[in-house]
Amino acid sequence: MRDVQEDPQVRRTPYTTRHKNRRVKWHNEDHIQRAAWRNRKPLEREVGDNTKDGTPGSWFKITVNSIWENKTWLMNSIQSHCSVPFTPVDFHYVKDWARFFVQDAGPASALRDVSYKICGISIIVDPSAEPYSVQNKLEPEEMEQLKVMQIQGTFKRYDVSQQALDLQTLRFDPDLVDHDIDIILNRRSCMAATLQIIETNFPKLLSLNLCNNKLYQLDGLSDIIQKAPTVKILNLSKNELNSAWEVGKMKGLKLEELWLEGNPLCDTFRDQSTYISAIKEYFPKLLRLDGRELPTPIVVDVDTCYLKPGKESSKGSETLKNLVMQFLQQYYFIYDYGDRQGLLGAYHDEAYFSLSIPFNPEDPSVAVPDLHSHPPTDLRVQLLKHTKHDIVRSLCVLPRTQHEFSSFLVETWLQTERVLCISLNGVFSEVVGKSQSSVRAFTRTFIAIPASNSSLCIVNDQLFVRDATPDETQRAFFMPVPTPTSSSVPTVSQEQQEMVQAFSTQSGMNLEWSQKCLQDNEWNYTRAGQAFTTLKTGGKIPEEAFKQIP
């Protein structure tokens, strides 16, 4: 449509042609912009002149402020509400604000309208110069060459046994330098190309080393959360990251090990523990930071809420926190290891206690009274205990337990001078039958009043117990999830191989898990089948057992 073979005279005198018809003007702009593209010079002057009438080619800066953290959902929501389709360019975060660029006034003003359509967001539209990535866009041939070189170079840097990719000091990689390829990971295009290679070739990447690449921002890298979400080890040491907030952009990754030393951000913290807690806020499951093992997380969350207006002193809440934790520690110590009769002292004479369990008619391990012979009122009264003696008697009848204190989440959600309301969530293991133990998840709510010896006296106690999910079990007790690895597989006979194949087809589990199940049941096919069905109904088989490994 656009005639590239423009009259040279027209091209050289852009200003005079402005007064002629519009189509010619567009040709000129187009030329000048494309010329600028090649020379990599932004043409602010031209853009500045055109933004008001929104001629094609002009850019707009879109700033979105929203309460929603989920970037994918946010962008999808905006796209669906926007009457004109648009392509966001250079999406990045500036503090809490999301920013991207769009081309042309049509999408820009449609976006302005979206602001009123979605709850919890505001969209500001401003004219702007060409976004950075457009200015520095690589030519298609360069991109291709870059990709080829990168792929070759990257494969050399990939360690299969560790599923680790080492991209440190990438710019000075001898291969790349020899071929005059400049991979500056700070450039969005380079980072995007690198991530593309990772997504295509190493989708299950575990470890990524980006040490010494002069990175000062991580907007581009944050796409790795979608492209290689399996990354658990990340090395960003010796870069130019200025603030922890930059690292926070990687929040979606479930990191276990992180290296940040040698970045300016490390010096912004008062002391080691502030640094560690700031980083842990973004990566709660982090186990090692800068090569140091982090202390086992004790998740304790104590919120206080004052009914009467008063000064909230930090001293006060520390005392409260200590009081609550001490009380709980004592309570559970007796509950788990001592004679539960000892809990009489913790309860008020007229206290209430009730226990709830989810009712599953198929699960024989959960004892539930026969609902048909007991009308509801009687049942409720039966399961609700009143007076401390009745309560403690019931508690003594419950199975022996072992509570994982470090897994507790404690919340004090109401506090007045008369009463304290505490909620806990956590897991415990319970001895069921002769030597079996089950892991249960529980929620307990205590309502307590102050007692004479500056302790607490329980007036209401509500306990809810259900089976723990495999993830909860693993997380709380730090048990590794059993994953069959190829190195531990003993030789399997032909007949056994056929059994594995058949089992896999019937159960839907992949070959590795099928083999493990059969091995665990001594290659008794029927028994393995029964075991599988029981576990499956109990929801105890993790999803990955069913994933087909290519």
At residue 407, what are phi and psi to the nearest 5 degrees?
Answer: -95, -5
Residue 68 binds another protein (CB under 8 A): yes
**Contacting another protein within 303-342 (CB under 8 A):** 303, 305, 307
Residue 192 binds another protein (CB under 8 A): no
Compute and round to an integer the Cα radius of gyration of the chain: 32
Cα–Cα distance for residue pair 134/103, rounded to 1 Å: 11
Instruction: Say which residue the tokens 């956590």 belong to.
Output: 426
Cα–Cα distance for residue pair 355/375, rounded to 1 Å: 18
Stretch that binds another protein, among 31-39, 80-88, 209-217, 469-477 (CB under 8 A): 469-477
Closer CB to another protein, 131 or 470, in the complex: 470
Q: Is 276 exposed, middle or buried (0-12, 13-18, 19+ CB in 10 A)?
A: middle
Residue 530 binds another protein (CB under 8 A): no
Residue 358 binds another protein (CB under 8 A): yes
At residue 31, what are phi and psi to the nearest 5 degrees?
Answer: -60, -50
Nearest to 132 by CA among 233, 40, 265, 261: 40
Residue 53 binds another protein (CB under 8 A): no
Residue 298 binds another protein (CB under 8 A): no
Residue 184 binds another protein (CB under 8 A): no
Closer CB to another protein, 69 or 139, in the complex: 69
Beta bridge partners of 422: 412, 446
At residue 421, what are phi and psi to the nearest 5 degrees?
Answer: -115, 125
Binding track over 267-296 against another protein, x by CB under 8 A: ----------------xxx-----------
Residue 33 binds another protein (CB under 8 A): no
Cα–Cα distance for residue pair 329/411, rounded to 1 Å: 15
Residue 428 binds another protein (CB under 8 A): no
Stretch that binds another protein, among 90-98, 259-267, 439-447, 497-505 (CB under 8 A): 439-447
SS3 87: coil
Structure tokens that stand for 528 in this block: 């393995």
Cα–Cα distance for residue pair 47/129, rounded to 1 Å: 6
Of the candidate residues 414, 432, 511, 535, the single one contacting another protein (CB under 8 A): 414
Closer CB to another protein, 27 or 348, in the complex: 348
Neighbour order of strands in the sheet with 59-66 = 89-94, 97-103, 59-66, 121-128
Of the candidate residues 195, 265, 447, 545, the single one contacting another protein (CB under 8 A): 447
Q: If binding means CB under 8 A, how many residues of this protein chain bind another protein?
A: 53
With a CB cutoff of 8 Å and minimum separation 6, the contacts of 397 are: none
Of the candidate residues 472, 504, 512, 532, the single one contacting another protein (CB under 8 A): 472
Cα–Cα distance for residue pair 100/74, rounded to 1 Å: 13
Binding track over 111-130 against another protein, x by CB under 8 A: --------xx----------
Question: Which residues bind to another protein, rule: CB under 8 A?
Answer: 67-68, 70, 73, 77, 119-120, 254, 283-285, 301, 303, 305, 307, 348, 350-352, 354, 356, 358, 377, 380-381, 384, 386, 409, 411, 413-414, 418-419, 421, 423, 425, 427, 441, 443, 445, 447-449, 459-460, 462, 464, 466, 469, 471-472, 475-476
